[in-house]
Amino acid sequence: MFDFDQYARRIGLKDIDITSAGLTALQRAQLAAIAFESIDPFLGRVPSLQPADIWNQLVEKKRGGYCFQLNWLFGEALKHLGFEARPILGRVRMGAPVGGIRAHLAWIVTIGGEEWLADAGFGGPGPRDPVAIRPGEQLIGGMTFRLRDDTATGELVLEWQGPDGWFPLFGFDESPFTQTDLEGANQLCTVWAALPFRDNLMMSIRLPDADVALMNRGLRRSGAQGTKSLQIGSADELATSLRDLFGLDCEPETVARIWSRLDTPVRAAA
């Protein structure tokens, strides 16, 4: 199922060493080539977690996906290359003092006795590069991160130093989980109004020179030249943004459905 040569062409990278530099190059390349996007949950479809379906969507059809799909693909690349990697299932916080359900898939990679948190599927302001699992602040891509022990929950919490202080992104431990746990979290991400996927169109991609993010109609591009924000005003503008900024090959019918959904009032919380 996993064809590394085709995957390497998709992300524009090959000849990766089993080193921390190779791990960094792999994560950066996938983040820059395959967007985080929540189109399926936003349109009321449960994303498939079947390997063949993920491969078809992310590689063959040149769509994006969210963490369960993106980090499945990333994990297959890690295993193919010979990295020592094990999955973790974390709880997204995004500024909250505690996390929600266990619904964020990522990887811990061990290289030369040192462990790294590697993640090609976080849609928020996460690090471009793997984070060394050790105390202290780490400067990554012009942003400062740290891993903090949360004794109340028993989790390590990945935090970003934002303009208002430390901002918790997600926490994780190494509790075992099964495919059934992933499938259950996937279902909740699609139907539960307490989570953001059902009622919001969310996208992000980490281009080499900029971070681009979409929240419903609000588009933001941040880079060395500063941050530029605008509101998407038409289906044609949406189609152009999906193609040119996020690299998504979406059919016209899908774009039309997304635009129609953006014009629909948010449903009341269930």
User: What does each of the 270 residues of the chain score in pLDDT, given as a tens digit?
Assistant: 799 999 999 999 988 999 999 999 999 999 999 999 999 999 999 999 999 999 999 999 999 999 999 999 999 999 999 999 999 999 999 999 999 999 999 999 999 999 999 999 999 899 999 999 999 999 999 899 999 999 999 999 999 999 999 999 999 999 999 999 999 999 999 999 999 999 999 999 999 999 999 999 999 999 888 899 999 999 999 999 999 999 998 999 999 999 999 987 654 443
Do residues 210 and 204 make contact, with C-beta atoms less than 8 angstroms apart? no
Q: What is the pLDDT of residue 124?
A: 87
Strands laid side by side in the 114-118 sheet: 131-132, 114-118, 102-111, 84-92, 165-172, 155-162, 143-150, 138-140
Task: Show the tokens assigned to 90.
Answer: 């974390």
pLDDT at 269: 41
**233/152 Cα distance (integer angstroms):** 45
DSSP class per residue in 123-187:
-SS--SS-EESSSS-EEETTEEEEEEEETTTTEEEEEEEETTEEEEEEEE------HHHHHHHHH
pLDDT, residue 265, reads 60
Residues 6+ apart with CB under 8 A from 91: 98, 99, 100, 101, 102, 103, 104, 155, 170, 171, 172
Domains and CATH numbers, the chain: 197-262 (3.30.2140.10)
Q: What are the tokens at 158?
A: 């990945």
- The reported pLDDT for the residue numbered 266 is 55
